[in-house]
Amino acid sequence: MQFTAKTFQGLEDILSGELRQIGAKDIQIIKRAVRFKGDKEVMYKVNYLSRTAIKILWEIDVFYADDYDKLYKNVKKIKWNNFLDTDKTYAIDKTVYSKFFNNSHFAALKTKDAIADFFTDLKGIRPSVDTRNPDLRINLHISNKKCTISVDTSEPALFKRGYRIQRTEAPINEVLAAGIILLSGIKNKKNIIDPMCGSGTILIEAANILLNIPAGYYRKNFGFQKFSDFNTELWVSVKNNADKLIKKDTGCRIIGHDIDFKAISASRINISRANLSNVIDLQLKNFFRIAKHKEPGIIITNPPYDVRLKEKNIFEFYKNIGNTLKRKFTNWTVYIFSGNIEALTKIGLKPTEKTDLYAGNLKSQYVKYELY
Ligand SMILES: C[S@@+](CC[C@H](N)C(=O)[O-])C[C@H]1O[C@@H](n2cnc3c(N)ncnc32)[C@H](O)[C@@H]1O
Protein backbone atom coordinates (compact mmCIF):
# COMPACT_ATOMS: atom_id res chain seq x y z
CA MET A 1 0.00 0.00 0.00
CA GLN A 2 1.32 3.42 -0.95
CA PHE A 3 0.76 6.25 1.53
CA THR A 4 1.51 9.95 1.85
CA ALA A 5 1.83 11.43 5.32
CA LYS A 6 1.25 15.20 5.31
CA THR A 7 3.05 17.47 7.72
CA PHE A 8 4.18 21.05 8.27
CA GLN A 9 7.05 22.33 6.13
CA GLY A 10 10.22 21.86 8.15
CA LEU A 11 9.07 18.72 9.99
CA GLU A 12 9.56 16.29 7.09
CA ASP A 13 12.81 14.83 8.50
CA ILE A 14 11.32 14.29 11.95
CA LEU A 15 8.27 12.64 10.39
CA SER A 16 10.38 10.34 8.22
CA GLY A 17 12.29 9.26 11.36
CA GLU A 18 9.00 8.44 13.08
CA LEU A 19 7.82 6.47 10.05
CA ARG A 20 11.06 4.50 9.90
CA GLN A 21 10.75 3.58 13.56
CA ILE A 22 7.15 2.44 13.05
CA GLY A 23 8.21 0.11 10.23
CA ALA A 24 7.30 2.03 7.07
CA LYS A 25 9.24 1.16 3.89
CA ASP A 26 10.44 3.07 0.80
CA ILE A 27 10.38 6.36 2.68
CA GLN A 28 10.69 9.40 0.45
CA ILE A 29 10.60 13.00 1.63
CA ILE A 30 8.68 15.52 -0.46
CA LYS A 31 7.59 19.07 0.35
CA ARG A 32 5.27 19.11 3.38
CA ALA A 33 4.87 15.34 3.19
CA VAL A 34 6.58 11.98 3.33
CA ARG A 35 5.67 9.12 1.01
CA PHE A 36 6.01 5.57 2.28
CA LYS A 37 4.87 2.00 1.76
CA GLY A 38 3.44 -0.38 4.29
CA ASP A 39 0.61 -2.75 5.07
CA LYS A 40 -2.60 -2.25 6.99
CA GLU A 41 -0.81 -2.71 10.32
CA VAL A 42 1.69 0.03 9.45
CA MET A 43 -1.21 2.29 8.48
CA TYR A 44 -2.95 1.72 11.82
CA LYS A 45 0.32 2.23 13.70
CA VAL A 46 1.25 5.43 11.88
CA ASN A 47 -2.19 6.90 12.57
CA TYR A 48 -1.97 5.98 16.23
CA LEU A 49 1.67 6.77 16.93
CA SER A 50 2.95 9.49 14.64
CA ARG A 51 3.14 12.83 16.42
CA THR A 52 4.15 14.87 13.39
CA ALA A 53 1.80 13.60 10.67
CA ILE A 54 -1.26 15.73 9.98
CA LYS A 55 -3.01 13.03 7.96
CA ILE A 56 -2.22 9.76 6.22
CA LEU A 57 -3.49 9.46 2.66
CA TRP A 58 -3.75 6.03 1.07
CA GLU A 59 -3.36 6.11 -2.69
CA ILE A 60 -6.07 3.86 -4.06
CA ASP A 61 -5.70 4.67 -7.75
CA VAL A 62 -3.37 6.46 -10.13
CA PHE A 63 -4.38 7.04 -13.76
CA TYR A 64 -3.75 9.48 -16.58
CA ALA A 65 -6.45 11.78 -17.91
CA ASP A 66 -6.44 14.90 -20.02
CA ASP A 67 -10.09 15.92 -19.75
CA TYR A 68 -12.93 15.95 -17.24
CA ASP A 69 -14.77 13.09 -18.92
CA LYS A 70 -11.76 10.74 -18.61
CA LEU A 71 -11.35 11.81 -15.01
CA TYR A 72 -15.03 10.99 -14.33
CA LYS A 73 -14.82 7.57 -16.03
CA ASN A 74 -11.68 6.52 -14.17
CA VAL A 75 -13.00 7.65 -10.77
CA LYS A 76 -16.26 5.76 -11.39
CA LYS A 77 -14.28 2.53 -12.01
CA ILE A 78 -12.93 2.51 -8.42
CA LYS A 79 -14.71 0.11 -6.06
CA TRP A 80 -16.01 2.82 -3.76
CA ASN A 81 -18.11 0.34 -1.78
CA ASN A 82 -14.85 -0.75 -0.10
CA PHE A 83 -14.72 2.65 1.61
CA LEU A 84 -18.17 4.15 1.62
CA ASP A 85 -21.85 3.27 1.77
CA THR A 86 -25.06 5.06 0.88
CA ASP A 87 -25.84 5.92 4.52
CA LYS A 88 -22.40 7.54 4.92
CA THR A 89 -21.12 10.97 3.84
CA TYR A 90 -18.09 12.01 1.83
CA ALA A 91 -16.08 15.08 0.82
CA ILE A 92 -13.49 15.78 -1.86
CA ASP A 93 -10.24 17.68 -1.19
CA LYS A 94 -8.34 18.73 -4.28
CA THR A 95 -4.88 19.83 -5.35
CA VAL A 96 -4.64 20.51 -9.07
CA TYR A 97 -1.59 21.66 -11.05
CA SER A 98 -2.54 21.03 -14.67
CA LYS A 99 -3.13 22.85 -17.92
CA PHE A 100 -5.66 20.12 -18.79
CA PHE A 101 -7.76 20.86 -15.73
CA ASN A 102 -7.79 24.62 -15.29
CA ASN A 103 -10.92 24.54 -13.14
CA SER A 104 -10.05 22.61 -10.00
CA HIS A 105 -13.59 23.02 -8.59
CA PHE A 106 -15.01 21.38 -11.68
CA ALA A 107 -12.49 18.52 -11.40
CA ALA A 108 -13.62 17.97 -7.79
CA LEU A 109 -17.28 18.16 -8.87
CA LYS A 110 -16.72 15.51 -11.58
CA THR A 111 -15.02 13.31 -8.97
CA LYS A 112 -17.94 13.78 -6.57
CA ASP A 113 -20.45 12.96 -9.34
CA ALA A 114 -18.52 9.85 -10.42
CA ILE A 115 -18.68 8.50 -6.86
CA ALA A 116 -22.38 9.34 -6.51
CA ASP A 117 -23.12 7.68 -9.88
CA PHE A 118 -21.10 4.59 -8.89
CA PHE A 119 -23.55 4.07 -6.00
CA THR A 120 -26.65 4.99 -7.99
CA ASP A 121 -25.73 2.26 -10.53
CA LEU A 122 -25.02 -0.22 -7.72
CA LYS A 123 -27.86 0.48 -5.28
CA GLY A 124 -30.19 3.04 -6.80
CA ILE A 125 -29.29 5.63 -4.14
CA ARG A 126 -26.22 7.77 -3.47
CA PRO A 127 -24.31 8.86 -0.36
CA SER A 128 -24.51 12.54 0.62
CA VAL A 129 -21.74 15.10 0.69
CA ASP A 130 -20.62 16.63 4.01
CA THR A 131 -17.62 18.88 3.63
CA ARG A 132 -17.14 19.47 7.39
CA ASN A 133 -17.37 16.08 9.07
CA PRO A 134 -17.50 13.45 6.35
CA ASP A 135 -17.26 9.74 7.05
CA LEU A 136 -14.82 9.54 4.15
CA ARG A 137 -12.52 12.31 2.95
CA ILE A 138 -11.22 11.68 -0.55
CA ASN A 139 -8.20 13.44 -1.99
CA LEU A 140 -7.90 14.27 -5.68
CA HIS A 141 -4.39 15.22 -6.74
CA ILE A 142 -3.73 16.15 -10.38
CA SER A 143 -0.28 16.92 -11.67
CA ASN A 144 -0.49 17.57 -15.39
CA LYS A 145 -2.20 14.37 -16.67
CA LYS A 146 -1.41 12.24 -13.64
CA CYS A 147 -4.42 11.84 -11.39
CA THR A 148 -3.99 10.31 -7.95
CA ILE A 149 -7.01 9.33 -5.91
CA SER A 150 -6.43 8.81 -2.20
CA VAL A 151 -8.60 8.23 0.81
CA ASP A 152 -7.84 9.92 4.09
CA THR A 153 -7.19 7.13 6.60
CA SER A 154 -7.01 9.62 9.50
CA GLU A 155 -10.05 11.91 9.22
CA PRO A 156 -10.40 13.90 11.39
CA ALA A 157 -6.85 15.28 11.03
CA LEU A 158 -4.31 13.87 13.47
CA PHE A 159 -3.65 17.18 15.22
CA LYS A 160 -7.12 16.74 16.66
CA ARG A 161 -5.67 14.73 19.49
CA GLY A 162 -8.80 14.79 21.62
CA TYR A 163 -7.42 16.48 24.74
CA ARG A 164 -7.80 20.14 23.81
CA ILE A 165 -11.28 20.92 25.04
CA GLN A 166 -10.44 24.53 25.98
CA ARG A 167 -8.73 26.94 23.63
CA THR A 168 -6.99 30.24 24.20
CA GLU A 169 -6.65 32.85 21.49
CA ALA A 170 -3.57 31.62 19.66
CA PRO A 171 -2.91 27.97 20.45
CA ILE A 172 -0.05 26.28 18.65
CA ASN A 173 -1.06 23.34 16.47
CA GLU A 174 -0.55 20.06 18.34
CA VAL A 175 1.51 18.53 15.50
CA LEU A 176 3.75 21.58 15.40
CA ALA A 177 4.14 21.52 19.20
CA ALA A 178 5.17 17.85 19.09
CA GLY A 179 7.47 18.60 16.14
CA ILE A 180 9.40 21.34 17.93
CA ILE A 181 9.77 19.19 21.05
CA LEU A 182 11.09 16.28 18.97
CA LEU A 183 13.40 18.69 17.10
CA SER A 184 14.88 19.73 20.43
CA GLY A 185 15.64 16.09 21.21
CA ILE A 186 14.80 16.47 24.90
CA LYS A 187 15.70 13.72 27.31
CA ASN A 188 13.88 13.33 30.59
CA LYS A 189 16.75 14.57 32.72
CA LYS A 190 16.09 18.27 33.17
CA ASN A 191 12.91 20.11 34.09
CA ILE A 192 10.96 21.58 31.21
CA ILE A 193 9.19 24.91 31.44
CA ASP A 194 6.85 26.67 29.07
CA PRO A 195 6.64 30.13 30.68
CA MET A 196 3.94 31.34 28.23
CA CYS A 197 1.94 28.14 28.06
CA GLY A 198 -1.46 29.41 26.82
CA SER A 199 -3.75 26.39 26.64
CA GLY A 200 -0.93 23.99 27.56
CA THR A 201 -0.25 22.30 24.22
CA ILE A 202 3.56 22.23 24.54
CA LEU A 203 3.31 20.94 28.12
CA ILE A 204 0.91 18.13 27.17
CA GLU A 205 2.85 17.09 24.06
CA ALA A 206 6.11 17.08 26.07
CA ALA A 207 4.54 14.91 28.78
CA ASN A 208 3.12 12.53 26.16
CA ILE A 209 6.53 12.20 24.49
CA LEU A 210 8.32 11.54 27.77
CA LEU A 211 5.67 9.08 28.95
CA ASN A 212 5.39 7.30 25.58
CA ILE A 213 1.67 8.07 25.42
CA PRO A 214 0.63 7.47 21.81
CA ALA A 215 -0.36 10.62 19.90
CA GLY A 216 -3.79 9.13 19.18
CA TYR A 217 -4.39 7.86 22.70
CA TYR A 218 -7.20 10.32 23.51
CA ARG A 219 -8.94 10.08 20.13
CA LYS A 220 -12.19 8.23 19.73
CA ASN A 221 -11.93 7.42 16.04
CA PHE A 222 -9.83 7.32 12.90
CA GLY A 223 -10.96 7.33 9.27
CA PHE A 224 -9.72 3.78 8.62
CA GLN A 225 -12.20 2.39 11.16
CA LYS A 226 -15.00 3.15 8.71
CA PHE A 227 -13.46 1.24 5.78
CA SER A 228 -15.29 -1.99 4.94
CA ASP A 229 -12.08 -4.01 5.41
CA PHE A 230 -11.43 -2.58 8.88
CA ASN A 231 -9.76 -5.28 11.00
CA THR A 232 -10.88 -4.74 14.59
CA GLU A 233 -8.61 -7.45 15.97
CA LEU A 234 -5.53 -5.99 14.31
CA TRP A 235 -6.42 -2.48 15.49
CA VAL A 236 -6.95 -3.61 19.08
CA SER A 237 -3.60 -5.39 19.07
CA VAL A 238 -1.81 -2.32 17.60
CA LYS A 239 -3.40 -0.15 20.28
CA ASN A 240 -2.74 -2.56 23.16
CA ASN A 241 0.89 -3.13 22.17
CA ALA A 242 1.52 0.61 22.06
CA ASP A 243 -0.38 1.34 25.27
CA LYS A 244 1.68 -1.30 27.10
CA LEU A 245 4.76 0.89 26.60
CA ILE A 246 3.29 3.88 28.44
CA LYS A 247 5.51 4.93 31.32
CA LYS A 248 4.39 6.23 34.70
CA ASP A 249 7.14 8.73 35.35
CA THR A 250 8.48 11.56 33.20
CA GLY A 251 11.73 11.66 35.16
CA CYS A 252 11.48 15.44 35.39
CA ARG A 253 9.03 18.19 36.25
CA ILE A 254 7.02 19.83 33.52
CA ILE A 255 5.95 23.35 34.45
CA GLY A 256 3.66 25.86 32.77
CA HIS A 257 3.25 29.57 33.49
CA ASP A 258 1.16 32.24 31.87
CA ILE A 259 0.31 35.82 32.74
CA ASP A 260 -3.32 35.25 31.86
CA PHE A 261 -5.65 33.55 34.32
CA LYS A 262 -7.88 32.30 31.47
CA ALA A 263 -4.89 30.58 29.87
CA ILE A 264 -3.96 28.85 33.12
CA SER A 265 -7.50 27.61 33.63
CA ALA A 266 -7.71 26.41 29.98
CA SER A 267 -4.40 24.57 30.51
CA ARG A 268 -5.72 23.04 33.70
CA ILE A 269 -8.82 21.70 31.96
CA ASN A 270 -6.85 20.29 29.01
CA ILE A 271 -4.19 18.74 31.25
CA SER A 272 -6.86 17.13 33.37
CA ARG A 273 -8.60 15.82 30.21
CA ALA A 274 -5.25 14.29 29.21
CA ASN A 275 -4.94 12.76 32.67
CA LEU A 276 -1.62 14.53 33.22
CA SER A 277 -2.42 16.66 36.28
CA ASN A 278 0.07 14.66 38.33
CA VAL A 279 3.00 15.36 35.98
CA ILE A 280 2.43 19.01 34.99
CA ASP A 281 2.50 21.96 37.42
CA LEU A 282 0.83 25.25 36.57
CA GLN A 283 1.30 28.71 38.03
CA LEU A 284 -0.05 32.13 37.09
CA LYS A 285 3.13 34.10 36.51
CA ASN A 286 4.50 37.04 34.54
CA PHE A 287 7.66 35.80 32.81
CA PHE A 288 9.33 39.17 33.22
CA ARG A 289 8.94 38.96 37.01
CA ILE A 290 9.93 35.32 37.32
CA ALA A 291 12.22 34.30 40.21
CA LYS A 292 15.44 32.38 39.55
CA HIS A 293 14.94 28.61 39.53
CA LYS A 294 17.22 26.55 41.74
CA GLU A 295 18.39 24.23 38.99
CA PRO A 296 18.86 24.87 35.30
CA GLY A 297 16.44 23.22 32.90
CA ILE A 298 14.92 23.58 29.46
CA ILE A 299 12.52 26.24 28.22
CA ILE A 300 10.32 25.43 25.24
CA THR A 301 7.87 28.15 24.40
CA ASN A 302 6.03 30.08 21.76
CA PRO A 303 5.58 33.71 22.82
CA PRO A 304 2.95 35.95 21.25
CA TYR A 305 3.98 37.06 17.75
CA ASP A 306 0.79 38.48 16.68
CA VAL A 307 0.27 41.81 15.04
CA ARG A 308 -2.21 42.47 17.83
CA LEU A 309 0.77 43.69 19.85
CA LYS A 310 1.94 46.72 17.86
CA GLU A 311 5.33 46.37 16.17
CA LYS A 312 7.23 48.62 18.55
CA ASN A 313 5.74 46.76 21.51
CA ILE A 314 6.41 43.35 20.07
CA PHE A 315 10.07 44.23 19.51
CA GLU A 316 10.23 45.56 23.06
CA PHE A 317 8.51 42.39 24.29
CA TYR A 318 11.14 40.16 22.64
CA LYS A 319 13.94 42.40 23.94
CA ASN A 320 12.53 41.85 27.43
CA ILE A 321 12.46 38.10 26.86
CA GLY A 322 16.18 38.29 26.04
CA ASN A 323 16.92 40.40 29.13
CA THR A 324 14.97 38.05 31.41
CA LEU A 325 16.74 35.02 29.95
CA LYS A 326 20.14 36.63 30.46
CA ARG A 327 19.41 37.62 34.07
CA LYS A 328 17.47 34.63 35.35
CA PHE A 329 18.29 31.59 33.25
CA THR A 330 22.05 31.04 33.41
CA ASN A 331 22.98 27.53 32.20
CA TRP A 332 19.54 26.89 30.76
CA THR A 333 18.80 25.63 27.27
CA VAL A 334 16.07 27.68 25.62
CA TYR A 335 13.96 26.90 22.57
CA ILE A 336 11.67 29.56 21.16
CA PHE A 337 9.20 29.08 18.32
CA SER A 338 7.90 32.26 16.75
CA GLY A 339 6.10 33.40 13.63
CA ASN A 340 7.69 36.83 13.97
CA ILE A 341 11.24 36.30 12.73
CA GLU A 342 12.20 39.97 12.98
CA ALA A 343 11.02 40.13 16.59
CA LEU A 344 13.14 37.06 17.38
CA THR A 345 16.27 39.00 16.41
CA LYS A 346 15.45 41.55 19.15
CA ILE A 347 16.07 38.91 21.82
CA GLY A 348 19.72 39.91 21.51
CA LEU A 349 21.21 36.46 22.13
CA LYS A 350 23.12 34.40 19.60
CA PRO A 351 21.17 31.26 18.68
CA THR A 352 23.17 28.04 18.57
CA GLU A 353 20.61 26.52 16.17
CA LYS A 354 17.94 27.89 13.87
CA THR A 355 15.29 25.90 12.03
CA ASP A 356 12.86 27.34 9.50
CA LEU A 357 9.35 26.05 9.94
CA TYR A 358 5.99 26.99 8.53
CA ALA A 359 2.89 27.32 10.66
CA GLY A 360 0.55 26.82 7.70
CA ASN A 361 1.75 29.52 5.33
CA LEU A 362 3.40 31.66 7.99
CA LYS A 363 7.17 31.45 7.80
CA SER A 364 8.36 30.86 11.34
CA GLN A 365 11.56 30.04 13.12
CA TYR A 366 12.60 27.73 15.92
CA VAL A 367 15.71 28.95 17.68
CA LYS A 368 17.89 27.43 20.34
CA TYR A 369 19.98 29.35 22.85
CA GLU A 370 22.52 27.87 25.25
CA LEU A 371 22.82 30.33 28.10
CA TYR A 372 26.02 30.63 30.11
C1 LIG B 1 1.07 32.31 21.43
S2 LIG B 1 0.37 32.10 23.02
C3 LIG B 1 0.93 30.52 23.52
C4 LIG B 1 0.03 29.45 23.01
C5 LIG B 1 0.28 28.10 23.59
N6 LIG B 1 1.51 27.49 23.09
C7 LIG B 1 -0.91 27.18 23.33
O8 LIG B 1 -0.74 26.14 22.73
O9 LIG B 1 -2.03 27.54 23.68
C10 LIG B 1 1.33 33.17 24.00
C11 LIG B 1 0.94 33.19 25.46
O12 LIG B 1 1.85 34.06 26.15
C13 LIG B 1 1.17 34.61 27.24
N14 LIG B 1 1.94 35.78 27.74
C15 LIG B 1 2.04 37.01 27.18
N16 LIG B 1 2.84 37.79 27.93
C17 LIG B 1 3.28 37.05 28.98
C18 LIG B 1 4.13 37.29 30.09
N19 LIG B 1 4.71 38.47 30.28
N20 LIG B 1 4.34 36.26 30.96
C21 LIG B 1 3.76 35.06 30.79
N22 LIG B 1 2.92 34.79 29.75
C23 LIG B 1 2.69 35.76 28.85
C24 LIG B 1 -0.19 34.93 26.69
O25 LIG B 1 -1.14 35.08 27.73
C26 LIG B 1 -0.45 33.72 25.78
O27 LIG B 1 -1.19 32.75 26.46
- pLDDT computed for residue 132 by the predictor: 92
* CA 53-167-218 angle, 5° bins: 50
Ligand 1 site-directed mutation target among 168, 201, 285, most atoms within 8 Å of CB = 168
Q: Which residue's CA is minimally distant from atom 26 of ligand 1? A: 198
pLDDT digits 0-9 by tens, 148-164: 999 999 999 999 999 99
Ligand 1 in reach of 270 Cβ (< 6 A): no
Domain 2-152 sits in CATH at: 3.30.2130.30
- pLDDT computed for residue 305 by the predictor: 86
Residue 189 has pLDDT above 80, yes or no: no
Ligand 1 in reach of 198 Cβ (< 6 A): yes
- pLDDT computed for residue 307 by the predictor: 65
Ligand 1 in reach of 205 Cβ (< 6 A): no
**Helices 232-243, 40-49: crossing angle, 10 deg rounding:** 40
What are the φ and ψ backbone dihedral angles of 355, each rounded to 5 degrees? -130, 130
Looking at 223-279, which runs of residues are DSSP E strands?
254-258
Q: Per-residue pLDDT averaged across 132-140, rounded?
A: 95
pLDDT digits 0-9 by tens, 38-63: 999 999 999 999 999 999 999 999 99
Q: Which residue's CA is minimally distant from atom 5 of ligand 1? A: 198
Residue type, 153: T
Name the strands in the sheet holding 25-30, side by side, starting at the edge strand that comes first in the sequence.
25-30, 33-37, 2-6, 55-64, 146-152, 136-143, 89-97, 128-129
pTM of structure: 0.95
- What is the 197 CA–ligand 1 centroid distance (Å)? 5
For CA atoms 159, 203, 169, 218, the dihedral sign is positive
> Is 174-213+240-370 a CATH 3.30.1380.10 domain?
no
Ligand 1 in reach of 267 Cβ (< 6 A): no
**Given this chain, do its domains 2-152 and 174-213+240-370 carry the same CATH topology?**
no
pLDDT digits 0-9 by tens, 331-368: 999 999 999 999 999 999 999 999 999 988 899 999 99
Q: Which of 188-197, 256-265, 302-311 has the highest mean pLDDT?
A: 256-265
Domain boundaries, the chain: 2-152, 174-213+240-370
Q: Per-residue pLDDT averaged across 15-25, rounded?
A: 98
Q: Is residue 236 very low, low, confident or very high in pLDDT (cuts 50, 70, 90)?
A: very high
When the pLDDT of each residue in the chain is averaged and rounded to a whole number, the result is: 95
Ligand 1 in reach of 256 Cβ (< 6 A): no
